[in-house]
Structure 1
Amino acid sequence: MPTVSVFYGILIQMFWNDHAPPHFHARYAGDEALIDIRTLEVIRGHLPPRARSLAMEWADQHRAELLENWELCSQKQHPKEIEPLK
């Protein structure tokens, strides 16, 4: 699974040809959550509150890039790296 960004120990990853709705995987310290790109709701899984907040802040700032990467993945192309949260 390609990693598109890493910040504060949080890995943001996307699968090729993954199921709808458009989402990304956020991993932190053994926890994982699938987060809907459009609504920023957790579809499945769990992250600690601080990691979840940081992942949501980052996703809100990069929603258009995430949707572009979703389209690339759906076409079995490698997603682009996205700038980490600063």
Structure 2
Amino acid sequence: MPTLARLSGCTLTMYAADHQPPHFQVRLRDGREALVEITSLRPLSSAIAPRGLAAAIEWAAANRPVLEATWRELNP
């Protein structure tokens, strides 16, 4: 489970051999998590309010090629 980024208050990770669609995990310090689809940057499931995901979505939008390449590497 590589760490993609550590932002203020959250960590973005991605698992190998994970299910479709391509996505990444956002985990807050308090343990709440969300799965965010890479293509649309919409939450697939979330225990985090939209405001709490804002920084992660902003980072993902700026780094989408990195997310897509990492997904392909971990999930051939």
* TM-score exceeds 0.5: yes
Q: How many residues align?
A: 75
Runs of 5+ unmatched residues, structure 2: none
How far is the alpha carbon of 1:48 from its aligned partner? 3.6
Alignment TM-score, normalising by the size of structure 2: 0.89
After superposition, residues 52-63 of structure 1 pair within 5 angstroms as: 52-63=53-64
Is the deviation greater in 20-29 or in 46-55? 46-55
Q: Alignment RMSD, CA only?
A: 1.2
CA distance in 1, matches of 2:53, 2:74: 23
Partner of 1:69: 70
Q: Deviations over 1:25-65 (max 9, x none)?
A: 00002110000000011001222443311111111111111
Q: After the TM superposition, list the runs of 4 or more consecutive aligned residues in structure 1 that deviate by more than 3 angstroms.
A: none
| Higher RCO, 1 vs 2 (CA within 8 Å, ≥6 residues apart) | 1
CA distance in 2, matches of 1:45, 1:51: 10
Partner of 2:19: 19
Runs of 5+ unmatched residues, structure 1: 76-86
